[in-house]
Each structure stands twice: as structure tokens, then as C-alpha cells.
Amino acid sequence: MNTTFDDRERGYESKFAHDESLRFKADARRNRLVGEWAAGLLGKQGDDARAYALSIVTSDFEEPGHEDVFRKLSADLDGKATEAEIRAKMAELMTVARHQIIGEAD
């Protein structure tokens, strides 16, 4: 027998799973966007730029959080962007990525 509580619990579980999926997609999108930005600073174009952006996406799987991505960008962009510039670009592109993902979900 299903109760209102059971239905509500299933609804919350579904919403949580959906929110986590959107967060994962937004993180991956931000990483690709910041990878494309960094590729431009490094003078990469075409397939090289796409491959570099993908390397930024995969660098996020090393540990929870975004510091693994920041460390890779910081090392790769040494002398081309400051720590503050990299962090600001990551924050800016997270907002862009979220808006893109939400727009695609509608």
C-alpha cells in the first residue's frame, strides 16, 4: 500500500537524481568551455583545441571538487593566466554552462 509519504519520498529521490544529473552535465560543460578558453590562450586550434578541452573534462575525474581542473589549468597556463583569472573564468563559465544545460532541458 502506497502512502502519501512514500509518493513524496519517491518524488524527492527523483528530483535529487535529476538535480545531480544536471549538476554533472553543467560541470562537464563548464570544463569543456574553460578548456576551449585555455586552448585559445595556448594557441591551439581545431582538433588540437578539441582534444585539449576534452583533457580538461577528464581531469575533473581525478578527485571530488574542482581543484583538479584548476591545478591542470594553472600548470598548463603558467605565465599565460593568473590564478585569479583562471578561477574567475571557471566561475563565469559555470554560470554559462548552467544556463545552457537548463535551456536544453526545457
- Determine, yes or no, domain membership for 82: yes
Of the pLDDT bands very low, low, confident and very high (cuts 50, 70, 90), residue 19 is confident
φ/ψ of 39, rounded to 5, equals -60, -40
- Determine, yes or no, domain membership for 2: no
In the chain, how many domains are there? 1
State the residue range of the domain holding 46: 25-105
pLDDT of residue 70: 96
Task: Return the residue matching grid coordinates 581531469.
Answer: 59
- Determine, yes or no, domain membership for 85: yes
Nearest to 69 by CA among 94, 46, 44, 45: 94
Using CA atoms, how far apart are residues 70 and 73, in angstroms rounded to an integer? 5
- Determine, yes or no, domain membership for 81: yes
Q: What is the mean pLDDT of residues 56-83?
A: 92
- Determine, yes or no, domain membership for 1: no
Of the pLDDT bands very low, low, confident and very high (cuts 50, 70, 90), residue 18 is low
Query: Model pTM?
Result: 0.80
- Determine, yes or no, domain membership for 47: yes
